[in-house]
Amino acid sequence: MSSSFPCSECGLCCKKISLIPELRQYDRGDGTCKYLIESRCSIYDTRPQVCRIDDMYHNVYYKTYSKEQFYEENLKVCKALQIEANIPPSDKVKT
């Protein structure tokens, strides 16, 4: 497993925030984050901790999962979102 999360920057996690209780306050009303502008995070440098996989691991989940396990759990969600959205294989998250 890579030492950093292999994000493909597809933005699907930002388009499905209504499924994440910690992010519901950012929902612009259609399930998409109100800070997602032209498929980019407009608050990337100050985005919530839940949007920072490594920070969430180190601050919240480090006692529950190994880093590799935490990445695997997040990758399951990424892959499911990408399959649902018919993302081409070349653009999918790499593992």
Asked if the structure places residue 18 within a domain, the reply is yes
What pLDDT tens digit does each residue of the chain (95 aa) get?
557 889 888 899 999 998 888 899 999 999 999 999 998 999 999 999 999 999 999 999 999 999 999 999 999 999 998 999 998 877 777 76
Asked if the structure places residue 4 within a domain, the reply is no
Integer Cα distance of 42 and 50 in angstroms: 16
Per the structure, the count of domains in the chain is 1
Asked if the structure places residue 94 within a domain, the reply is no
Asked if the structure places residue 21 within a domain, the reply is yes
Asked if the structure places residue 2 within a domain, the reply is no
Domain residues for the domain of 81 are 12-89
Asked whether the beta carbons of 49 and 57 are under 8 A apart, the reply is no
Integer Cα distance of 46 and 53 in angstroms: 14
Q: Which residues of 55-68 are buried (b: 16+ CB within 10 A; e: fewer)?
A: ebbeeebeeeeebe
Asked if the structure places residue 7 within a domain, the reply is no
Asked if the structure places residue 85 within a domain, the reply is yes
